[in-house]
Structure 1
């Protein structure tokens, strides 16, 4: 007799949260959706005079397209395949996707070519300095446009209370900010320490090394970091890791 794995997921409630919950359900888990990120557009658009333009998320691509961004004359770079797919869906040509889907991977892919070039980085207000600092170190003239801000939604935190009561078997963090917002929500509800203890009795998955470092810095033990930085890989790995623990 098996018990279903209750897995908390924190993606933005813009379609990604419901898609994530549907995926977890298809894997045999019981999703506990609790959006920890909400998108606030700034109404800015990427500059159109850059030699290279970097997009780092599907959300950023959609906002750039909504602003009628003209990509003519720039080398369009996507941080990973999901961003590249969003660019293609919006009828942009993708010129570069790094082998490693990360800020460091983009720096590695571009550093030999950008000395003296104008590089536009269009992303959220929580982008990694690894990208901008690395490109500047390579000799690029870097300009950053904040396309949107990421905030914690009002009412977030039901999953923190579930964790504090020991009611979660798994949790899936997809960015450092989801970790931080989860803990802020737990603090606001007065259950921070109990929530961390509850997570440490569950299987915690993080989508990449930076998110893992953030979680561990706050005392959260991380059990799973998939080789591929995608939600599907994260969900599959976490459910596979958690499920054997709940079989009699």
Structure 2
């Protein structure tokens, strides 16, 4: 290839019009995730949730499709030019469209004009469908559209002019309406006038597939009154037909034990990921607030000697009691040009599954993880005593925090082992969260807070103040509960075993029992943040 030919060869970009789905970021298609991961420029609709962008590279440029850099409205022509210019310069562009381009695309009904412009400009493009709100939202509301005897389904955009409601009223077809809330009174009257039974069930669902989802169930003859009384606002997906009755049995999303609960998790994002994922599975909205900051030890010599000893065969065991300890050792390894092979011939213990997972990510398979309680006590129960016949070396390397308890050290010594107790990292109180977060904590905007240690209690109260009286307090164990009570908090939930997974499960059981009690009493199901007692709750 000649230099001239090389000069003429130019990277070609493209534009992908990608349906982002109805709101739940877990409903993205695999192709959508692939395109986002490779995108240089992402132009998104306002209705696309921020969580969708977690699939993008850190270097990707993200543009609000409705506004320019100056905050002014971004005209369609300007938006289209931006995408075409980027593609011509060799960039991979993703146009994120709320909903599904092929059926209902939320606020981006003009996306077809953008596709036409790309075609005219000779820019390569593709169109990726998304999960459609007109099917997903009713399903999340417990209304499977094709579950009843009536198989005909009509999707109607109520915002369109001259909708023939008489024709829709003259049939028993299930109606799925978008844009119906502002004109629901007129729609109901015209459907009844055309022959629909006044008692025909109606369900309106807003913020569908998200933890803000709310569904109002009524009938054609009462829906206008009920919408007004509930101050129900759109946008929403409305279903008219007998299939709405299926909701009594099939409601699965809004009935999750912690549905819509805003749960404060006083841990860093790295520490909180598994816990936050578990909370989301129960319908909660986790909000992570770090209460500690992890910093290197004041003097590195102790860690340096321990790493050298690890390489030269000083230790029979290495015991990791936290993910942070794994991270600290891994960083030292990288500093010295070492990798997981340095652990060859050394037994490795992990205090629990999260720490074990961090070791596996490092390339180290732990030899010992507690079979019972995931704690220092649980680790000691499974730890073998030193045997001079079978153990050529009697020493254990224990990298841990500067404020760790002596439980594990004392227990290992009692089992006959020598212990190099090394400060691998320091834990210091984190900086206070933003003012709006502190205000939310103090005024009861959070439904629950999970305390995973006594230090998280002390640090959260220190940097953000006490949680409000209505906030449910959940603690990982008796010592953490005692600390919470010492700070004037009443403990509502305690994990049956000291693990974060058991703590989240215990909170879910509490939420489920609370919900059942309200239903059995014939009362509405409220989140803790939706009620305000007259007096502040005190610890017993």
TM-score in terms of structure 2 length: 0.40
Cα deviation for residue 222 of structure 1 reads 2.1
Q: Tell me, in whole angstroms, the C-alpha distance in 2 between the residues paired with 1:105 and 1:232.
A: 16
Structure 1: tracts of 5 or more residues without a match: 187-191
Query: Does the 8 Å CA contact 1:114/1:135 hold for their aligned counterparts?
Result: no
> Compared with structure 1, are the counterparts of its residues 112 and 19 closer, same or farther at alpha carbon in structure 2 (3 Å cutoff)?
closer
Q: Tell me, in whole angstroms, the C-alpha distance in 2 between the residues paired with 1:52 and 1:16.
A: 25
> Compared with structure 1, are the counterparts of its residues 23 and 139 closer, same or farther at alpha carbon in structure 2 (3 Å cutoff)?
closer
SS of the residue 1:38 aligns to: strand
The alignment status of 1:58 with 2:323, answered yes or no, reads yes
1:164 alignment partner, one of 439, 442, 445: 442
Query: Does the 8 Å CA contact 2:271/2:323 hold for their aligned counterparts?
Result: no
2:404 alignment partner, one of 108, 119, 127: 127
The alignment status of 1:247 with 2:525, answered yes or no, reads yes
Equivalences for residues 28-177 of structure 1 within 5 A: 28-42=283-297, 44=303, 46-47=306-307, 48=310, 49-68=314-333, 70-99=342-371, 100-110=373-383, 112-113=385-386, 117-156=394-433, 159-177=437-455
The alignment status of 1:7 with 2:242, answered yes or no, reads no
> Compared with structure 1, are the counterparts of its residues 232 and 98 closer, same or farther at alpha carbon in structure 2 (3 Å cutoff)?
closer
Cα deviation for residue 97 of structure 1 reads 1.3
Query: Does the 8 Å CA contact 1:203/1:241 hold for their aligned counterparts?
Result: no
> Compared with structure 1, are the counterparts of its residues 114 and 207 closer, same or farther at alpha carbon in structure 2 (3 Å cutoff)?
farther
Structure 1 stretch displaced more, 115-124 or 96-105:
115-124
Cα deviation for residue 213 of structure 1 reads 3.3
Cα deviation for residue 182 of structure 1 reads 0.8
For 1:210, the equivalent position in structure 2 comes to: 479
SS of the residue 1:87 aligns to: helix
Query: Does the 8 Å CA contact 1:203/1:242 hold for their aligned counterparts?
Result: no
Q: Tell me, in whole angstroms, the C-alpha distance in 1 between the residues paired with 2:353 and 2:459.
A: 26
For 1:180, the equivalent position in structure 2 comes to: 458
Q: Tell me, in whole angstroms, the C-alpha distance in 2 between the residues paired with 1:235 and 1:143.
A: 34
Q: 1:191-214: CA deviations, max 9, x gaps?
A: x4xx25x2x532211233432333
SS of the residue 1:39 aligns to: strand
> Compared with structure 1, are the counterparts of its residues 32 and 94 closer, same or farther at alpha carbon in structure 2 (3 Å cutoff)?
closer
Q: Tell me, in whole angstroms, the C-alpha distance in 2 between the residues paired with 1:94 and 1:217.
A: 38
> Compared with structure 1, are the counterparts of its residues 87 and 32 closer, same or farther at alpha carbon in structure 2 (3 Å cutoff)?
closer
Query: Does the 8 Å CA contact 1:4/1:28 hold for their aligned counterparts?
Result: yes
Query: Does the 8 Å CA contact 1:114/1:138 hold for their aligned counterparts?
Result: no
Query: Does the 8 Å CA contact 1:103/1:128 hold for their aligned counterparts?
Result: no
Q: Tell me, in whole angstroms, the C-alpha distance in 1 between the residues paired with 2:475 and 2:496.
A: 11
Q: Tell me, in whole angstroms, the C-alpha distance in 1 between the residues paired with 2:416 and 2:265.
A: 40
Query: Does the 8 Å CA contact 2:262/2:286 hold for their aligned counterparts?
Result: yes
SS of the residue 1:221 aligns to: coil
SS of the residue 1:211 aligns to: helix
Query: Does the 8 Å CA contact 2:374/2:499 hold for their aligned counterparts?
Result: no
Number of residue pairs matched by the alignment:
238
> Compared with structure 1, are the counterparts of its residues 86 and 138 closer, same or farther at alpha carbon in structure 2 (3 Å cutoff)?
same
SS of the residue 2:416 aligns to: coil
Q: Tell me, in whole angstroms, the C-alpha distance in 1 between the residues paired with 2:492 and 2:262.
A: 16
> Compared with structure 1, are the counterparts of its residues 98 and 26 closer, same or farther at alpha carbon in structure 2 (3 Å cutoff)?
closer
SS of the residue 1:86 aligns to: helix
